[in-house]
Amino acid sequence: DEVYDFAAIQRKWQPVWEELRPFRSGDPADKRPRKYILDMFPYPSGDLHMGHAEAYALGDVIARYWRQQGFNVMHPIGWDSFGLPAENAAIKRGIDPRGWTYDNIDQQKRSMKLYAASFDWDRELHTSDPEYYKWNQWLFLQMYKKGLAYRKDSWVNWDPVDQTVLANEQVLPDGTSERSGAVVVKKKLTQWYLRITDYADRLLDDLNQLEGRWPSKVLSMQRNWIGRSIGADVEFEIEGRDERVTVFTTRPDTLWGATFMVVAPDSDLAAELAAGSTDAVQERFADYLAEVQKSTEMERQSTDRPKTGIDLGRVAINPVTGERMPVWAADYVLADYGHGAVMAVPAHDQRDLDFARAFDLPIRVVVDVNAPVTGVIPVIGLDENGDPILPDEPDPLDPARTGVALAGEGRLMNSGPLDGLSKANAIKKVVELLEADGRGRAARNYRLRDWLISRQRYWGTPIPIIHGADGTEHPVPEDQLPVLLPDAAGLDLKPKGTSPLGAADAWVNVPNPVDGSPARRDADTMDTFVDSSWYWLRFLNPNDDEKAFDPREAEKWAPVDQYVGGVTHAILHLLYARFITKVLFDLGYLSFTEPFTALLNQGMVQMDGSAMSKSKGNLVRLSDQLEQHGVDAVRLTMAFAGPPEDDIDWADVSPVGSAKFLARAWRVAKDVTSSPDVQWKTGDPALRRVTHRFLADAPGLIEAFKFNVVVARLMELVNATRKAIDSGPGPADAAVREAAEVTAMALNLFAPYTAEDMWARLGYPPSVALAQWRKADSTLLIEETVVAVVQVDGKVRDRLEISPTIAADQLEDLARASAAVQRAVGDRGIVNVVVRAPRIVSISTRG
Ligand code: ANZ
């Protein structure tokens, strides 16, 4: 008797698909509706690993699902193949990054084909190909023309190990480099930036469109990253200086309580104010600045470290009180936020209060937060009228004494025309007063910084600018693109703070495009996040050498219907892709402003509760898993492990169990003895009901990403079919064939090899991936029902009509999904659910 042999099945079908190419999506005559399903493309740093295996298994369920629903699905793949890992590997081994990269791509591609992800290989791209990066350069030039790409001198994040600058996004919260792990320091350099801050409001506001379609965690990470603050700019005169200093504040209502000013020590303003002060101040300032330069931004913003700073010996004038205020430099004020200077209101801002208390600066309360005094005040005696005498207690809320700033809301006091107003009204009023006086205005501020794209490294896209000897900038004419990356041979790629390209004499020295005089190419390369910001558009026509992408194809396919990838890209990549989409919209190339309509973040594959790594010795090799259990068992395990958003612990799952189930399903198809032209209606009604219930339920479950539930239901279906073969109507019954065919179609989503082999045994030509999902026969869905009651905190909130044989967890899912129940639960959170299937679900909430 023939047994299930996954290796033989893989060997059999891979070449058949290679020949058939069932996943091509580029036929212009294809009239099916379209779906664009995109997996984040891999970085070719070695062979595929378990994380890839999870992501591509899940993305493929979605792509295969929509094909079976009658869509022309575009599911492309390519390689994000520029970047530091290749360069570092090349340096370590003394080889060319190009060779290393393309060897890895070959290996990953072979693995992906074995893994049977349903990619349209006609659309394959590599960002390190000149045919691709030419268009990075084109994009850069379009942005340059619009003033969206510019160069400036500024303090940048410097990775002392990789010897290159980093975008803010690449510096981890602990101040280390996301890439090398080194502590990031500040360095002043002239660098290229993309003006993403011009798009801050749109990047923020458009997130509302994605509500419910992107994970809420990602939406809030994006919102925090952009970090919009609403407030005012206020101008202060400085004695001995012509120009006023502007500060940004979210609390202009507290202006009467501003008692000193603080500037960022690493700002030009601080240097200038110090230079205009005494020699002693200048000396102390220089020492302090050197000290500050050593700390990270994270450290500087931390509230629980001792405040440091120096008095610059200069005087600012409070524009409303006319009071003279000292000007200090302190590192809790950041140079690149707002205007790099603050009006300090110690009574109402904790950092200002800590500073004022440390350096004995004045503190004035201007908001009566009117908090009730708690605690009992002891009576110390009675007066002549017999009334209690209270001790001369200090104000229990006095910030100078308690060290706690009064940040809450209240009525304004000690504030002249603002007295008695609420915070909101006071803000309105003071902004009016300042505007009338030309001393301020309403203003917004963002945490978001412009995107620094210059990298002093080799393996990236050359920046298409030529620098004249006189310091002028000249864009490379578009018809001279691409600016090819010179050969690595003969170049020293070792990090040294300047780009290796600067040493490629023949490449870097070019005539000035204007007058032919000697000039030099820009020797920096672009951040590789530029490459990945628009690759999803290049997939539309990856071989077009006339344009970056075809707007008509974009009209047909884009935006991406479903994007699948890791939450590690929640900020950087997604923000940049959203930004570039809006830029291309503004340039007239796109008709939409958001690139990814829906986003699924898969969890991570772990081992024994922690991330897998070579050093921990808990690395599970994908190639070993595929060899031991087969592709289908690994893929099925990924889908069955739990909700896709959750992490998978490989120690807790069972690819062996998956393989057993696949063998069981496969034997069902093998045992079928009827031919494809059976009359379905003659089949066993009980089995047919199970099959059609599955047909009816699976699509909704897949669209809600409940892949694991579908697999569980499929297991039930296979069990029911087995029973029908062995102890029911037997292998010739039409219902047995029907169930086996539906099983093959559904397994196509999770276990394509097994599904294809089943399909062939059932008498059909390849490919099951193109078979259309069958409609459930509604007459078979009617079954005896009972009513289950759902209670929330003891009150009946819903009644559900359900099958009397419903499983407890399924009933619980239904109860939790009920709108009435969700309303009753509100945002209190569920603490306990008791299910007595099929009659009662009792939910308890917090509070
Ligand atoms: C006076 C004030 C009074 C403030 C008060 C707050 C509370 P967000 O919300 O993060 O935008 N600030 C302004 N520029 C700064 C800089 N470069 N570095 C550090 N702090 C800076 O914070 C805005 C507030 O942070 C501003 O409002 C300013 O302090 C401070 F009761 O002004 B505020």
* Backbone torsions φ then ψ of 632, nearest 5 degrees: -65, -40
Q: Is 188 annotated as a binding residue?
A: no
d(CA 404, CA 52): 50
Ligand 1 pocket, CB under 6 A: 229, 248-251, 254, 264, 333-334, 337-338, 340, 342-343, 345, 348-349, 445
293-318 tens-digit pLDDT: 877 766 777 777 889 999 999 999 99
For strand 786-792 and strand 648-649, is the pairing parallel, antiparallel, or unpaired?
A: unpaired
State the closest ligand 1 atom to the C-alpha of 340, by its place in the atom list counted from 1: 17
* Backbone torsions φ then ψ of 121, nearest 5 degrees: -70, -15
Residue 393 pLDDT exceeds 70: no
pLDDT for position 395: 74
Confidence of residue 492 (pLDDT cuts 50, 70, 90): confident
State the closest ligand 1 atom to the C-alpha of 407, by its place in the atom list counted from 1: 31
pLDDT for position 391: 61
Closest listed residue to residue 50, CA positions, set 460, 613, 522, 448: 613
d(CA 501, CA 485): 8
Omega before 767 within 30 of 0, i.e. cis: yes
d(CA 330, CA 262): 6
Give the angle 286-163-266 at the CA atoms, nearest 5°.
Answer: 25
Residue 260, SS3? strand
pLDDT for position 472: 93
Give the residue, by CA position, lying nearest to ligand 1 atom 9: 229
pLDDT for position 378: 54
Task: Quote the DSSP letter at residue 596.
Answer: B
Distance from Cα 186 to the centre of ligand 1, integer Å: 23
d(CA 79, CA 674): 46
Residue 372 pLDDT exceeds 60: no
Query: Is the ipTM value over 0.90, yes or no?
Result: yes
Place of tokens 């302090």: 288
Q: What number is the average pLDDT over the span 650-679?
A: 96
Looking at residue 608, its amino acid is: D
Residue of higher predicted confidence among 126 and 782:
126
State the closest ligand 1 atom to the C-alpha of 345, by its place in the atom list counted from 1: 3
Task: Quote the DSSP letter at residue 770.
Answer: G
205-226 tens-digit pLDDT: 999 999 999 999 999 999 999 9
Give the angle 126-130-131 at the CA atoms, nearest 5°.
Answer: 75
- Residues 24-46: b if buried by 16+ CB within 10 A, e if exposed: ebeeeeeeeeebbbbbbbbbbbe
61-70 tens-digit pLDDT: 999 999 999 9
d(CA 497, CA 689): 70
Closest listed residue to residue 351, CA positions, set 402, 318, 384, 303: 303
Helical segments of 620-706, H only? 622-629, 631-640, 655-671, 685-703
Distance from Cα 248 to the centre of ligand 1, integer Å: 7
d(CA 496, CA 503): 12
Give the residue, by CA position, lying nearest to ligand 1 atom 2: 251
* Backbone torsions φ then ψ of 130, nearest 5 degrees: -55, -30
Looking at residue 305, its amino acid is: R
46-62 tens-digit pLDDT: 899 999 999 999 999 99
Q: How many CB atoms lie within 10 A of CB 381?
A: 8
Rounded to 10 deg, the angle between the 97-115 and 84-93 helix axes is 120
Residue of higher predicted confidence among 384 and 799:
799
Residues 713, 714, 717, 722, Cα dihedral to 10°:
-140
Residue of higher predicted confidence among 175 and 756:
756
